[in-house]
Amino acid sequence: MAQPGFFQRQANARRNTGLLVLLFVTAVTLITLAVCLLGYYLTRSETSGQPFHDWLLSGHGLITAATVVALIGMSSLIRWVDLAGGGSRVAKMVGARPIDPATRDPDERKLRNIAEEMAIASGIPVPELYMMDNETGINAFVAGYTPGSAAMVVTHGAITQLTRDELQGVVGHEFSHILNGDMRLNVRLIALLAGILMIGQIGSFLLQSAFYSSGRIRARNRNNNAEVAFGVLGIALFVIGYVGVFSGRLIQAAVSRQRESLADASSVQFTRNPEGIGGALFKIAAQSSHLESTGHASNMNHMCFGEAVPMKLAGLLASHPPIDKRINAIQPGLLTRLKSRARNATPAPDRQGQQSTTAYQPTAASGIAGATPGSGHRFADQVGTASTAGEDFAISLLEQLPASFRSLLYARTGAVQLCYALLINHLSDGEQQAHLSQLPAHPLTGPQPDLLAKLVPTLNSLGETIRFPALELAMPALRQLDPHERRTLMTNVQTLVAADNRVSLFELALTSFLSRHLGAGAERVVPVRHRSYKTAMPALQALLSLMTRAGSATGHEADTLYQEAMAGFGDHKNSQYPIRAKVSMRELQAALKTLNGLSPLLKPAVIDACGHCITHDGVINAREYELMRLVADQMDCPMPPVMV
């Protein structure tokens, strides 16, 4: 059975949010009724045999129910606000440390190389990488609200015990969660579980307090009846809390199992190596994936590669399918081969020092691998995937980058200078100096001539196709800038863009990219505002007018192409939305912002219409690619490399 595409998975993730809310409300209702039942029996002398349903509607019952709902709601809200910081906040919550982009540790560099290859091949910024140093089990998870703000956390056991192929399989699994919209649901589930588990935590606190107090009072031979009652109440609430624990585990299992199976399959699709992820799962079965160093392991079980805690009633409550079933689902017979290999003590081939076994070696200067003009593939089908050619291009690109150039992208100062170099590398030396002189001096955000002298020649030698991949490699360092430094960087970029009194498509793409991923609302999820094309037609008119003119040699050709592109968006009269003679950059940005508010299932047609405009003549030039990349990025549609 074919896997659902990126946009269908995005729509499914949004629907799962509704399912999550329904399950949460059900769990809260059960917990509230259990606490009210306890309150009913504790106040029987006051109710004089009053039936439970009457007591529930009385003052005592309503106050009890309202208190329980308020406690659960406040606990979830507090955790929800706490996790508003996105993936980095979740990583810090579990005690993970950020991996230095310029790390020299071989295992950490192995992880970074794999993550960079995957990011370039799938068209998203490199996620922030974190390490759980005290965890010897094999596990990993990703967290965040958008693909551009994702954080990937791996255990020390994962990077030290897995071969490169196996680690690549795990990273591919986690990239699937990034691309499928699972991260947002996972983070929200952490917040909801915090509320569900609150009653049990209160009971545990009361129970411990009662035993501590009664011990002190017994030592002084005083009456401890009140403390005994206090302890009984704590025990009752603690037991009721298990209703919340059970409900939480059921919710985790309900929203997680199918997505884990999909992520396993996507990992194979990304890496083209079923034995990679299969071997990682086999090692988990033989060893462990449990998280021991954090008290949040139970709440995060649903978002980890393997079970983070021992699970009773595993068949009912486990967030992941059984390991054997996961391995056999990846490839029939794989489990048998792995067991045979383990018995014979013959290790699987480890391509630790290799990056690819394919013979395909494109040059970055000649083009970008991926979907090609006239290939018959819809552009929308490529979104949210990592193709074979795209992966090979990423590997080849990283091999061609000089070590000095690549190391600069891992430091904040070097990443900032890259943004400036991308805007001036095509200018003469005199023009470069004139433009840079407009920027204020600053140790970090000011121009650094010595660093620019290392960046500009490489950009010129490798060509235009290096520009977006270089930005993606620099994103972890750029995310380390504080809010003031980010604002200064974007102000300086705008100054360089305005220096020649014109804005090119790449300059627009660069400023939009930085604003989308470093701006104040970078981690916010764009809500669905348009469930039909009717309300977004002016935005489509502006976008497709620009796309058709960019992809056509004559006005007549542009008119024909525009009619073809607009044909898929309803029976609108040509006179109502005619092709526009000119579209300003500000109008294009506004149009893309509107189109990002489309329902996920409406976005494929927009991507395909744009793809039709730039491929109708069988050629994609650099200008058309930059425009296509701008559209995809601003609509939160990760676009793998395409042939230029």
pLDDT tens for each residue of 400-423: 899 899 999 999 999 999 999 999
What number is the average pLDDT over the span 324-331? Answer: 90
d(CA 206, CA 184): 34
Render pLDDT for 85-94 as a digit per residue (tens, 0 to 9): 788 889 999 9
| Spatial contact of 523 and 83, defined as CB atoms under 8 Å apart | no
Q: What is the pLDDT of residue 273?
A: 87
Render pLDDT for 113-160 as a digit per residue (tens, 0 to 9): 999 999 988 888 899 999 999 999 999 999 988 887 889 999 999 999
Statement: residue 531 has pLDDT above 80 = yes
Angle at 408 (CA atoms; ends 405, 410), nearest 5 degrees: 120
Statement: residue 216 has pLDDT above 60 = no
Residue in 108, 117, 174, 624 annotated catalytic:
174
Q: What is the pLDDT of residue 537?
A: 92
Q: What is the pLDDT of residue 311?
A: 65
Q: Tell me the range of 16-25, 46-55, 476-485, 523-532 where mean pLDDT is highest.
A: 476-485
Give the residue, 132 or 180, on which the prediction is more confident. Answer: 132
Task: Fill in the DSSP letter of residue 110.
Answer: H
Q: What is the pLDDT of residue 573?
A: 53
Strand 151-155 to 128-132 pairing: parallel
Q: What is the pLDDT of residue 85?
A: 78
Q: What is the pLDDT of residue 312?
A: 63
For every residue of 187-250, DSSP letters joined together read HHHHHHHHHHTHHHHHHHHHHHHHHHHHHHHHHTT---HHHHHHHHHHHHHHHHHHHHHHHHHH
Neighbours of 485 (CB within 10 A): 17
Q: Which of 528, 566, 529, 521 is nearest to 545 (CA)?
A: 566
Statement: residue 338 has pLDDT above 90 = no
| Spatial contact of 136 and 158, defined as CB atoms under 8 Å apart | no
Q: Tell me the range of 149-163, 344-358, 556-570 where mean pLDDT is highest.
A: 149-163
Statement: residue 572 has pLDDT above 90 = no
Statement: residue 591 has pLDDT above 60 = yes
| Spatial contact of 477 and 414, defined as CB atoms under 8 Å apart | yes
Q: 């349903």: which residue's tokens?
A: 53
pLDDT interval class at 61 (50, 70, 90): confident
Q: What is the pLDDT of residue 549?
A: 84
Lowest model confidence (mean pLDDT) among 109-113, 343-347, 448-452, 500-504: 343-347
Statement: residue 193 has pLDDT above 90 = no
Give the residue, 526 or 535, on which the prediction is more confident. Answer: 535
Q: What is the pLDDT of residue 356?
A: 40
d(CA 385, CA 270): 7
Neighbours of 351 (CB within 10 A): 15
Q: What is the pLDDT of residue 486?
A: 94
Please say if 46 is a catalytic residue: no
Name the percent of the chain in helix, strand, coil, to the closest 5.
65, 5, 30
Q: Tell me the range of 345-354, 379-388, 569-578 where mean pLDDT is highest.
A: 379-388
What number is the average pLDDT over the span 250-256? Answer: 75
Lowest model confidence (mean pLDDT) among 36-40, 201-205, 396-400: 201-205
Q: What is the pLDDT of residue 345?
A: 57
The percent of residues in the chain predicted with pLDDT above 90, rounded, is: 29
Q: What is the pLDDT of residue 367?
A: 45
Statement: residue 252 has pLDDT above 80 = no
d(CA 177, CA 174): 5
Give the residue, 407 or 184, on which the prediction is more confident. Answer: 407
Lowest model confidence (mean pLDDT) among 33-42, 95-104, 151-160: 33-42
Statement: residue 81 has pLDDT above 70 = yes
Q: What is the pLDDT of residue 451?
A: 95
Render pLDDT for 352-402 as a digit per residue (tens, 0 to 9): 444 443 333 333 334 444 444 444 457 888 887 777 777 888 888 888 899
Q: Where are the alpha helices (DSSP H) in 531-621?
A: 537-550, 555-566, 585-595, 603-615
d(CA 139, CA 283): 11
Q: Tell me the longest C-alpha to C-alpha distance in the chain.
A: 100
Q: Which of 149, 141, 43, 30 is nearest to 86 (CA)?
A: 149
Q: What is the pLDDT of residue 195?
A: 83
Counting DSSP H helices and E strands in the chain, the numbers are: 29, 4
**Cα Rg, the chain, nearest whole Å:** 28
What number is the average pLDDT over the span 604-633? Answer: 85
What number is the average pLDDT over the span 514-525? Answer: 80
pLDDT interval class at 297 (50, 70, 90): confident
d(CA 265, CA 334): 14
Average pLDDT, the chain: 82
Q: What is the pLDDT of residue 13?
A: 67
Q: Which of 568, 570, 550, 559 is nearest to 619 (CA)?
A: 550
Q: What is the pLDDT of residue 315?
A: 55
The percent of residues in the chain predicted with pLDDT above 70, rounded, is: 85
Render pLDDT for 255-282 as a digit per residue (tens, 0 to 9): 777 788 888 888 887 888 899 999 999 9
Q: Tell me the range of 218-222, 284-288, 592-596 where mean pLDDT is highest.
A: 592-596
